[in-house]
Amino acid sequence: MKYSIITFGCRVNQADSLAIEAELLASGGTPAAPDEAEILVVNTCSVTAAADQGARQTIRRVTRDNPSVRVVVTGCYATRAPHEVASLPNVARIVPNSEKDSVARLVAEETVVTTAQRFDNGEGPCGNRIVPGVAGRTAFTLRVQTGCDEHCSYCIIPSTRGRGRSKPIAEALADVRRAVTAGYKEIVITGVHLGSYGRDLPQQSSLLALLRHLAEWPADVLFRVSSLEPMDCTRDVVSLVATSPRIAPHFHLPIQHGADSMLRAMRRPYTAAYYAALVTRIADLMPHASIGSDLIVGFPGESDSEFQESLELLRRLPLSHLHVFPYSDRPGTAASALQPKVDGRLTRERGRLVRDAAAEMTRRFRVAQRGRTRRALVVDDGWSAVTDNYIKVRLDEQAERNTWRMVTLLQ
């Protein structure tokens, strides 16, 4: 059985797709390009209308080029709007997030491939068949948590992912051990609400407890912490990152808006001043650390003055990169009922201004790192590497993929 997996959205989806791929490989599947595959797995996102549209366009394009392919759709869009997904061409299965662990088995039911060698042998998502380089991946993305108990007014994810659920520390560490044994040198720790890790476990734990285990890992491996909500990035977490060579000096802390009035409307549990103090403290302690963020423009009721307040704050903050999201109504969220809506043209213009500011942030950070020597993992075709502080560089000579190099940043 020839299969292809297309993934939209967050690192959690990337981790889920990697686990699906591990099972498909173990059950005898062969990876193929989408236009040559017998089965196409589309792992969807639904954080914005654009994400939904991207999934629809991709399925239509692939089935036009490959009319016989059978499509299995999972992820947040498949969970939120299965009736819309069902109307797309060649869709054979729709698998909600609650059943995503069964995708490989359901794919097998669509084919004649036996499932006897699935991970019933206990190898888990880092079995012998998943090694660095499979499907273009050099780092391993490990999901240790899913679901969310927060109630941000714009976000549909709590209803598509469910309540927060954490993997016990022993299981998470076993997954890390398998990934390291398989040859991975960088592991990204991710979750839908990663900062809530452990709160739901019978023996309550915490993200800090997990990170302390990783900070003392004996093998030469780098752990990169995925997105953290600002209120979850505690002083202890920051101190641990600053002192452990095992944890990358890289933070992703979504601000979503720089005006307190908008943060209240979004139901974000912090203020702009709190956020500014947090990232300033990190930058003072670790001037080499990259700090990324997310921002929503065009949220209902966003005035010119609120947008300017947000933009001016961003320009002052020591951020290294920024993802900009035009607000998109998600049916079923509190924000979808808020008025007035911001005109689409104005939202696009505000997005352009923020992206211009973000480009300046990135330039400023790279200039500040010029001349510094950092450890970097070789990726792609061997001509590129990613530093521990998340700067992608072009190498002056080709190197073996998935090896460490010390690089001096020239530009």
E strands, 218-300, are 222-225, 250-252, 290-297
Q: What percent of the chain has pLDDT over 70?
A: 93
Own/partner contacts of 383-389, CB < 8 Å, gap of 24 or more, are 388/222, 388/248, 388/249, 388/250, 389/248, 389/249, 389/250, 389/288, 389/289, 389/290
> Is 110:348 a contact under the CB 8 Å cutoff?
no
pLDDT at 105: 84
> Is 310:295 a contact under the CB 8 Å cutoff?
yes
How many distinct structural domains can be found in the chain? 4
Average pLDDT over residues 396-403: 94
Average pLDDT over residues 156-182: 94
Q: Residue 127: inside a domain, yes or no?
A: no
pLDDT at 22: 86
Pair (327, 354) in one structural domain: yes
**DSSP reduced 3-state for 139:** coil
Pair (81, 148) in one structural domain: no
- Measured CA to CA, the distance from residue 98 to residue 121 in angstroms comes to 23
Q: Residue 389: inside a domain, yes or no?
A: yes
Which of 131 and 115 is assigned the larger pLDDT? 131
> Which CATH number characterizes residue 332's domain?
3.30.750.200
> Which CATH number characterizes residue 208's domain?
3.30.750.210
Pair (172, 108) in one structural domain: no
pLDDT band for position 219 (cuts 50, 70, 90): confident
Q: Residue 130: inside a domain, yes or no?
A: no
Could you read off the pLDDT of 303-348 as tens digits, one per residue?
999 999 999 999 999 999 999 999 999 988 999 999 999 999 999 9
Average pLDDT over residues 212-219: 94
Q: Residue 132: inside a domain, yes or no?
A: no
Look-up: residue for tokens 């320009």?
315
Last residue in a domain, options 216, 248, 280: 248
Pair (22, 84) in one structural domain: yes
Look-up: residue for tokens 């995708």?
103
Asked if the model's pLDDT at residue 135 lies above 80, the reply is no
